[in-house]
Amino acid sequence: MPNEDQKHAPLCILHLEDSVHDHRLVKREFQKSGETIDIRHVENLADFEKALQETHFDVILADYRLPGFTALDAWQLMKSKHIRLPFILLSGAIGETAAVAAIQAGISDYLPKDDLTKLRHVTQRAVEMHRIVLAKEQADAELAESEKRLASFAEHLQLAIEQERAAIARELHDDIGGSLAAIRFDLSWIGRHTTDPATIAHVHAATDMLQHAVEANQRIMMNLRPAILDQGLVAAIHWLGSSFSRRTGIETVIRAHLQNDQLTKAVQLTAYRTAQEALTNIGKYAQCTQVKIDLAGDDNFLTLEIADNGQGIDSANAGSPGGFGIKGLKERAKTIGGWLDVSSQKGLGTSITLSVPIENRPPPEAGENSE
């Protein structure tokens, strides 16, 4: 949008016209409004180009037919110089076909010379529309840059989260896991060196509780850092589905097959986290009796679909914590060039589909190091 200086500055006009008389008529029409203008008159393409290089204009007025060229030639010259200005044809009868072709080419407007009373209005409208278009383009560019920065931040945040999860998992394994193992040895030693029935009963009870703690520790470590991915994405998806079925009692049907076993760690981890989050939401909100997990992929594309036959997502629960989780998954999918689709009907279940194009990278040549 124009700033205060632009609003009060004289309207700067470049008039391409071979008739001095017609130029004076145009100038007089602007002067009738009492508004200050700065209008420059040129008659040929050379002077037109020179004027564009020397001065910043607000609008171009141009006769259609001029000696040796037309206004469209001036328009193309302006485009070749990457100069964008509102361009108005101000001419005699050029024919409807020519006028339509000019507008389709990008000319802002057309006004017959015998209708100069509308000149000020047409010019002002063209200038305002041009400013609106430029402002929208600037806003779109700023929005695209903002989205780019947001995507970069989301990618950095996901990396930081995974690194923190891995660090916590290592601490659980090294510290908690080591302590639990030591307790198990001590309980075994006590059990071997006592004959007191009450003591033995307490040892057995403590051993059972210890086993629950060990299993919980392993489950938490697996959720934080999915070591199962070292065995491949197919194995990880099967483990997730089986664990979910055992924990919730919900029937889980798994179909997983990949032709490409060279997926990057980022793609595998995104697919794993997508399935993990989807199953977590299903367990909390879906109220379903069956879940289907379909994983398929070749050298060009990977798809992962998690579908349930539950209550679906409606406006009443769209703002639930699960909704935020889905938004996070969508942002995560973008970081690897993929996208997430959510399809749901009330009472008919929900389907979450991750789609990821796979880049075909040539295998490393002999002697090259590969990671």
The 10s digit of each residue's pLDDT in 121-170 is: 999 999 999 999 999 999 999 998 988 888 778 767 777 877 787 788 78
Higher model confidence: residue 362 or residue 93?
A: 93
User: What average pLDDT score do residues 19-41 get?
Assistant: 89
> Which pLDDT score is estimated for 97?
74
Q: What is the pLDDT of residue 161?
A: 78
Q: At what angle do helices 197-224 and 119-171 cross, to 10 degrees?
A: 150
Q: What was the pLDDT predicted at 367? A: 41
Contact 251, 291 (CB under 8 A): yes
Average pLDDT of the residues in 268-272: 91
Q: Is the pLDDT of residue 354 over 70?
A: yes
Say if CB 163 and CB 270 are below 8 A apart. Answer: no
pLDDT at residue 111 greater than cutoff 70: yes
Sign, Cα dihedral of 231, 355, 288, 279:
positive
In this prediction, residue 229 carries a pLDDT of 82
Residue range 99-125: mean pLDDT, rounded? 86
If one compares 9 and 215, the residue with the highest pLDDT of the two is 215
pLDDT at 104 over 90: no
In contact, 129 and 84? CB cutoff 8 Å: no
For the chain, what are the domain ranges? 4-139, 229-371
Residue at 169: amino acid letter: A
Please compute the mean of the pLDDT values over residues 60-84 and round it to a whole number.
Answer: 91
The distance in angstroms from the start CA to the end CA of the chain is: 51
Please determine, for residue 209, whether its predicted confidence score (pLDDT) is greater than 80: yes
Per-residue pLDDT, averaged over 105-117, amounts to 86
Helix axes 45-54, 71-80, angle to 10 degrees: 40
Query: What CATH class does 229-371 carry?
Result: alpha beta
Judge whether 337 and 290 are in contact, CB under 8 Å: no
Confidence of residue 365 (pLDDT cuts 50, 70, 90): very low
Residue pair 6/59 in contact (Cβ under 8 Å)? The answer is: no
pLDDT of residue 238: 94
Both tokens assigned to 227: 């070591």
How many residues belong to the chain?
Answer: 371
Please name the residue that has the structure tokens 């001065």.
55
More confident residue, 261 or 54: 54
CATH number of 4-139: 3.40.50.2300
Q: Which of 55, 79, 66, 88 is nearest to 17 (CA)?
A: 66
The Cα–Cα gap between 137 and 130 comes to 11
Q: Specify the range with the lowest mean pLDDT, choosing from 63-67, 95-99, 225-229, 362-366.
A: 362-366
Q: pLDDT band for position 338 (50/70/90)?
A: very high
361 pLDDT tier (thresholds 50, 70, 90): very low
Mean pLDDT across 181-196: 90
Residue with tokens 């934080």: 224
Rg (CA), the chain: 36
Q: What is the pLDDT of residue 3?
A: 55
Bridge-based pairing state of the strands 11-16 and 37-42: parallel
pLDDT exceeding 90 applies to what percent of the chain?
Answer: 45
Q: How far apart are CA 282 and CA 275, in angstroms?
A: 10
Q: Residue 370 pLDDT more than 50?
A: no
Residue 154 CB-density burial (10 A; 0-12 exposed, 13-18 middle, 19+ buried): middle
- Comparing CA positions, the residue from 41, 86, 40 lying closest to residue 66 is 41
* Averaged pLDDT, 202-230: 84
Distances 123 to 108, 251, 330 between C-alpha atoms, Å: 9, 70, 46
Q: Which of 28-42, 61-75, 144-158, 168-182 has the lowest mean pLDDT?
A: 144-158
Give the neighbor-by-neighbor strand order of the sheet with 11-16.
Answer: 37-42, 11-16, 59-62, 87-91, 109-112
- Write down the pLDDT at residue 364: 42
pLDDT at 9: 75
* 227 closest CA partner among 303, 296, 155, 170: 170
pLDDT(314) > 70: no
Q: Please provide the average confidence, as pLDDT, over all residues in the chain.
A: 85
Query: pLDDT digits over 272-309, tens only?
Result: 989 999 999 999 988 999 999 999 998 899 999 999 99
DSSP for 62-121 reads: E-SEETTEEHHHHHHHHHHTT----EEEEES---HHHHHHHHHHT--EEEEGGGGGGHHH
Cβ 252 vs Cβ 241: under 8 Å: yes
> By C-alpha distance, which of 21, 57, 17, 23 is closest to 38?
57
SS3 127: helix
Q: Cα 295–298–302 angle (5° rounding)?
A: 45
